[in-house]
Homo-oligomer: A and B are copies of this chain.
């Protein structure tokens, strides 16, 4: 861990760190101008930097934290173990996401955070960030947006799990990830890095790995996606949207 000044740009609900290669504003080709216009620089704050290798537990459910960690690079899961081996993934954390907005109000982390890929994290002091939030209204707004988005995402998951078929859930997951990565400039030509294993998808979508495998094969056979070597290409966006929404 090393402390360093944080040159973050807060864009919509993403907290993008200008000093991380994958976040460099220049890297976000399409959104670069918008980011520059709306970005909030929170340079005065120091952030603890931490690098975690793939498949490690970063924070354990119930652990106490007095920092607000943000994912700068890599993918992680926020998941809740059930004790009998089962576990539900509540969200996939991508670059720019806070681990949990709930950490502003409670030091206890409600879910286990586990890295999928190698992950780079920067953690702000909760108190310092709180103070900064109080004085900078645009930063406060950015935080509100992040919070509302986190909330609406979990709502959406509950809706999907309650009402939608396996096919719809997986199609929607792919589309969501695509859109989130797209917003921060991490896609190109309908193609994205896709480090998820089938067991991640299954634990997010409430399905068995076997069934996930069948459905992905199905998508491939239908020609809507191309997936190999941790890279996913949406070859027929219209068809995928159709699979995602309509029964």
Contact = CB atoms under 8 A, between A and B. Distances in A.
Contact of A161 (B84, B111, B148, B206): B206
A206 B163 contact: yes
A138 interface: no
B162 A205 contact: yes
A152 B151 CA distance: 11
Contact of A155 (B111, B152, B203, B206): B111
A interface majority secondary structure: helix
Contact of A102 (B105, B148, B157): B148
Contact of A152 (B110, B161, B162, B247): B110
Contacts of A87: 163
Q: How many copies does the complex hold?
A: 2
Interface residues of A, number: 30
A88 B159 CA distance: 6
Nearest to A154: B154
A151 B82 contact: no
A216 interface: no
A86 interface: yes
A90 interface: yes
A88 B247 CA distance: 16
A53 interface: no
B84 A159 contact: no
A144 interface: yes
A158 interface: yes
Nearest to A89: B162
Contacts of A111: 155
A158 B162 CA distance: 8
A144 B103 CA distance: 11
A147 B80 CA distance: 19
A154 B110 CA distance: 12
Name the 7 nearest CB pairs between A and B, nearest first.
A162-B206, A161-B161, A105-B144, A88-B159, A158-B158, A88-B162, A161-B162
18 contacts: A80-B159, A82-B163, A84-B247, A88-B159, A88-B162, A90-B155, A90-B158, A102-B148, A102-B151, A105-B147, A110-B152, A154-B155, A154-B158, A157-B162, A161-B162, A161-B206, A162-B204, A163-B206
